[in-house]
Amino acid sequence: VCEYVSGKYDVDEDFANLRSEIDRLEKEESIDSSCERIHVYYMALPPSVFVDVATHIKKNVYDESCTNRVVIEKPFGHDLESSRQLSKDIGALFDETEVFRIDHYLGKEMVKNIMSLRFANVFYEAVWNRHYISNVQITFKEPFGTEGRGGYFDQFGIIRDVMQNHLLQVLCIVAMNQPQSLNAEDIRDSKTEVLKRILPIQLEDTMLGQYVGTIDGSKPGYKDDDTVPKDSNTPTFAECVLHVDNDRWRGVPWVIKAGKALNEARMLIRIQFKDMPNSLFPNLARNELVIQVSPKESVYIKTIVKEPGLSTNLAMSELDLTYKTRYHDIKIPDAYATLILDVLNGDHSNFVRSDELDEAWRIFTPLLHQIESENIKPLPYEYGSRGPEGVYQFIEDRTGYKRTNLEYHWEAPQ
């Protein structure tokens, strides 16, 4: 059944009509108050109307005789102050157990797999700390620009759009200590504990970029979009180095990087291990564990082996779990489908709690305010490139990341 009810965000009568339509449909299906019912209000709306719509839902649509749940899409606030005010306003209307702040990256198969990978395998968890790991990189790349929605994007920029939510949530799951149980609140407690130990990001540990058109004119620049102000300094690319100040991660740099109009579509987590101490083999390349979230779900470990045959030369290879070859008969559900099922089941494990959100904004707000108050100009980069000039040197200088000195290129098995 799919029905549509037209109305305005701030008109009581329109919300009352929505309630009447819900009642009518339930009556037609012989669903009465004795049945176990769940009403889900999914607010995929401009943030400016969240409170208005939530207020009218509670006043005109909310049904005391059933379970009510409200799903709120990002961005949840613009900075720490606005996020706290929004949480306060929503909290005055709905109980925290009724609120589901959705971040679809938490529904992605490979992100959900991180906890199993870490806590169900003794050899991963044994080396998952500062004694063995040199640096961690979490990368999000899109091969297209704002494509006509630049006016909307310009209000937020890449940090608010992707990094403060998607990438920071992934970082939490990679960095957190083992929760006491698989209970939703225990998992969210562990994530919040990590966030509380992350120091605010410094401008000197941040690289900002904004894409420009291609030399041949085939692809437009960000400010070529008619909806974007011609003097906009909104970043479409950002790279930040973070530090988690706890016993497990102290001294390990974490890089989160996101950009539009780059050379490929890719989201991955790259964990680079430290150099082999007292190695028999000099100048070894470092081992890496790579979790590719999209587009081809996979986990692989870059491993050094001897070249086959009579040679004693070393080669870089991989231990590879590519989902489409190992699980070719299983369909991986869409992230949103997974999360909506969680909403119906009342499972908050993969949703953001209010104190998590508060800590996330604490980490980014000083940086965002400094960028805006000082009108920091982002570095230009060509549409379809890897990012601004010096992007890899920036990482190497601040994290000690080492490129492999052995010929290597991973390809997903056919």
Catalytic sites, residue numbers = 166
CA 71 from centre of chain = 17
Rounded-to-integer distance, Cα 10 and Cα 57, Å: 10
Cα 93 to Cα 18, 40, 317, 356, 375: the distances in Å are: 19, 15, 55, 20, 37
Which is it for strands 379-382 and 206-212: parallel, antiparallel or unpaired? parallel
The conformation of residue 203, written as its DSSP 8-state character, comes to G
Q: Is 409 helix (H, G, I), strand (E, B) or coil?
A: coil
> What gap in Å lies between CA 61 and CA 19, rounded to an integer?
5
Lookup: tokens for 63: 């049904």
Q: Which long-range contacts (CB under 8 A, 24 or more apart) does 183-186 make?
A: 184/347, 184/348, 184/349, 185/348
Phi-psi bin for 396: left (phi > 0), alpha (psi -120 to 50), beta? Answer: alpha
Dist. CA 39–CA 54, nearest whole Å: 14
Q: What is the DSSP string of 1-55?
A: --------TT-HHHHHHHHHHHHHHHHHTT--TTS--EEEEEE-S-GGGHHHHHH
| Cα 249 to Cα 243, 259, 328, 378, distances in angstroms | 8, 26, 36, 30
In the beta sheet, which residues pair with residue 373? none
Residue 319 CB neighbours (<10 A): 11
Q: Residue ranges of the alpha helices (H) in 234-301?
A: none
Look at the alpha carbons of 99, 102, 107, 110 in this order and tell me if their dihedral is positive or negative: negative
| Backbone φ and ψ of 66, nearest 5° | -140, 175
Residue 308 CB neighbour total at 10 angstroms? 7
Cis bond before residue 366 (omega within 30° of 0) = no
